[in-house]
Amino acid sequence: MHNPALRHCGIDAQYVRVQVPVGSVGEALRKFAKAGFIGINVTIPHKFEALDAVDEVDPLARTLGAVNTVQVKDGRLLGYNSDGPGFLAAVDEAFGVSVSSLRVAILGAFGGAGNAVAMQCAIEGCQKLVLVNRSVSRQLEVAANLAEYAPSIKPTFLIGADWNGARIAAELNEVDLIVNGTSLGMKPEDAPLLPAGSLLSRHLVFDMVYRAGGQLTQLGTLARQAGASYVDGVTLLLHQGAISFEHWFDRPAPLDVMRAGLQEALCA
């Protein structure tokens, strides 16, 4: 989506993919800056490492706890986060509602994108927040961040075994929006995210992952079977990309051009 946007705007640049080993993010970012890069997107599992590697962190990225967009400006690395703002824009496009009016459950809430979305929902003043995670690691950190930045939100935590069975089914019965912040669903053989029958027709289901060619993820299949409204991660990816573009070039992103380029690439 970025290369069509660059061509459309007449910008003499190219977007490329570079694989970076864990533990080498800081070194890589310095090399990118020295080589004349304009900006960088950072994906899993590097978002936490990037937070500590940049020279300056945007206040929202600091609040959300991760950096996934880096701007190189006057030799300095400026870190931003497009997960939270991109999520808000994607929810509005997909469902026509504001997160502030919704009761929200987030699966995989302690990871980079899941945590950013959890914080963004809390900052927006969502009506209820249920945070679901397989492991207890980072629970205290996430709880402390929520208490600091959104003290009016009192989240419900479902950890480990609570993810399965009657407990999660009862909690999901009391929410409107269910967000998959895990990487589960990219492969057909991935383990089920939710117990059978836990999705209802009134649910809004937001899957942060997607499969090429528009194939439904496992969660997407369950949502459609339940008659629930569903969107996969392509809409989020689009709005994340647009936000990154605007940070790098200080101009509105050509959203329709980026959408068409993204769809062409996914269907190739």
pLDDT over threshold 80, residue 163: no
User: pLDDT, tens digit, for every residue of 116-142?
Assistant: 899 999 999 999 999 999 888 888 888
Position 122 scores a pLDDT of 95
User: pLDDT, tens digit, for every residue of 226-252?
Assistant: 999 999 999 999 999 999 999 999 999
User: pLDDT, tens digit, for every residue of 66-79?
Assistant: 899 999 999 999 99
- CATH class for domain 2-81+235-267? alpha beta
Average pLDDT, whole number, for the chain?
Answer: 92
Of 47, 73, 154, 187, the active-site residue reads 47
DSSP per residue over the chain, as a string? Answer: -HHHHHHHTT-----------TT-HHHHHHHHHHTT--EEE--TT-HHHHHHHSSEE-HHHHHHT---EEEEETTEEEEE--HHHHHHHHHHHHHS--GGGSEEEEETTTSHHHHHHHHHHHHHT-SEEEEEESS-TTHHHHHHHHHHH-TT---EEEEGGGGSSHHHHHHHTT-SEEEE-SSTTSSTTSPPSS-TT---TT-EEEES---GGGPPPHHHHHHHHHT-EEE-THHHHHHHHHHHHHHHHSS---HHHHHHHHHHHHH-
Architecture of the structural domain at 84-232: 3-Layer(aba) Sandwich (3.40)
Q: Do the domains 84-232 and 2-81+235-267 match in fold?
A: yes
Q: Note if 73 is an active site residue.
A: no
User: pLDDT, tens digit, for every residue of 185-230?
Assistant: 777 777 778 888 899 999 999 999 988 777 888 899 999 999 999 9
pLDDT over threshold 80, residue 115: yes
Q: What is the pTM of this model?
A: 0.91
Give the domain ranges of the chain. 2-81+235-267, 84-232
